[in-house]
Amino acid sequence: AAKNAGRNRYAYFTPALQVAALNRMRLTNDLRGAVKGQQLALYFQPIVHLATGRIHKAEALVRWQHPLRGMVSPCEFIPLAEASGLILEIGQWVFHEAAGWAQRWRAEVDQAFQISINQSPLEFQREGVGYDDWLRHLRTLGLPGQALVVEITEGLLLDANTTVSDKLLQLRDAGIQVALDDFGTGYSSLSYLKKFDIDYLKIDKSFTRNLAPSSSDMALSEAIIVMAHKLGLKVIAEGVETPEQRDLLAHAGCDYGQGYLFAKPMPATDFDALLRAQADQS
Ligand code: C2E
Ligand code: MG
Ligand code: MG
């Protein structure tokens, strides 16, 4: 595009682009103070066992309450956090927060309760650190690794180096499970599924959105579920918004569903109340 612009070298520096770049710089700057300034919150979204309708797991999703801008979406600030390296600090905060709640809910409500946390490629591949500090913290809490699931994306496994396989092994040794997030949107190669020990596939919401009997997304979802089960993996469908989608997925043998139909991501205290209400019902 630069070459096509020819002599007009100023094509890059249109006001709109300058404003966007400035905006990113300002947000990144604000993000630096967000962790210490207690502007981050961890929200939880239930993951529902489709056959019983019960909640045994939740995905932890970070939120940033900006003092002036209000809620900033992770889609906006996670990329900035990655580019600036702040993602490591945020990831540590998310881990500690999630581990604390997992311990509480397992002790007080459901001893098999599991929390998923997202790891962007940069966090997962961070050099030298490994998950030693996590495992130490889990030992301190007396929390088994089974309390946590780490969500990573396909791209990470596609060009997997030894760092990636080492980290996967380290998680596995500690009992922490692994989920492949946004499955089906990245790369078509499936060979990594036999190469690495993965516990869950998360069907991306772009498939769930268009589910209808004998639609192509239905066929793809069914194929993913059958394949996953044959490989010994459980399947979680993301973005379940309607009872029809839930029923089609349940009928296709999908293990878990997550989406606005069940609940939107919510603050920990609200999720705590939801879990306790469910426990009282049984
Ligand atoms: P993700 O891991 O794929 O998370 C699922 C996203 O789908 C969440 O968006 C969730 O609110 C949204 N969602 C859930 N149910 C529905 C539904 O029924 N319909 C629709 N349309 N959307 C639904 P959210 O919370 O905005 O997070 C966006 C992404 O930001 C996440 O995608 C994840 O990649 C990233 N992210 C969030 N928290 C963290 C974190 O703590 N660390 C890292 N590294 N990334 C995070
Ligand atoms: Mg996720
Ligand atoms: Mg996802």
pLDDT digits (tens, 9 = 90+) for 65-103: 999 999 999 999 999 999 999 999 999 999 999 999 999
Whole-angstrom Cα Rg for the chain? 20
Do the Cβ atoms of 74 and 40 come closer than 8 Å?
no
User: Does the pLDDT at position 9 exceed 60?
Assistant: no
Instruction: Determine which residue's CA is closest to atom 24 belonging to ligand 1.
Output: 74
Q: Where are the alpha helices (DSSP H) in the chain?
A: 15-34, 74-84, 87-108, 121-124, 132-141, 154-158, 162-173, 192-195, 205-209, 216-230, 243-251, 268-281
Between the CA of 15 and the centroid of ligand 3 the distance, in Å, is 34
Mean pLDDT value of segment 190-208: 90
Do the Cβ atoms of 152 and 124 come closer than 8 Å?
yes
Residue list, ligand 1 pocket, CB within 6 Å: 45, 61-62, 73-75, 78, 94, 118-120, 123, 151, 181-182, 205, 238-241, 258-260, 265
- Of 11-20, 70-79, 127-136, which has the strongest mean pLDDT? 70-79
Confidence at 163, pLDDT banded by 50, 70, 90: confident
Amino acid at 267: P
Predicted confidence at residue 13, as pLDDT, reads: 62
Instruction: Give CA–CA dist 24/204, Å, rounded.
Output: 28
> 3-class DSSP state for residue 40?
strand
Predicted confidence at residue 7, as pLDDT, reads: 55
Predicted confidence at residue 19, as pLDDT, reads: 86
Of residues 8 and 249, which shows the higher confidence score?
249
Instruction: Give the number of the ligand closest to the Cα of residue 149.
Output: 2
Mean pLDDT value of segment 217-241: 95
Average pLDDT over the chain, rounded to an integer: 91
Mean pLDDT value of segment 234-251: 97
Mean pLDDT value of segment 110-117: 98
Q: Please state the atom number of ligand 1 nearest to the C-alpha of residue 120.
A: 44
Predicted confidence at residue 8, as pLDDT, reads: 54
Between the CA of 11 and the centroid of ligand 3 the distance, in Å, is 36
Do the Cβ atoms of 157 and 119 come closer than 8 Å?
no
DSSP states of 216-244 as a string?
HHHHHHHHHHHHHHHTT-EEEE----SHH
Predicted confidence at residue 10, as pLDDT, reads: 57
Amino acid at 190: L
User: Does the pLDDT at position 188 exceed 80?
Assistant: no
User: Does the pLDDT at position 59 exceed 90?
Assistant: yes
Classify the C-alpha dihedral 7-11-12-18 as positive or negative. Answer: positive
Predicted confidence at residue 2, as pLDDT, reads: 46
Between the CA of 258 and the centroid of ligand 3 the distance, in Å, is 10
| pTM value surpassing 0.90 | yes
Q: Is the ipTM above a cut-off of 0.85?
A: yes
Do the Cβ atoms of 255 and 279 come closer than 8 Å?
no
Confidence at 15, pLDDT banded by 50, 70, 90: confident
Predicted confidence at residue 155, as pLDDT, reads: 83
Predicted confidence at residue 1, as pLDDT, reads: 45
Mean pLDDT value of segment 168-193: 87
Confidence at 237, pLDDT banded by 50, 70, 90: very high
Confidence at 276, pLDDT banded by 50, 70, 90: very high
Mean pLDDT value of segment 24-28: 93
Instruction: Give the number of the ligand closest to the Cα of residue 246.
Output: 1
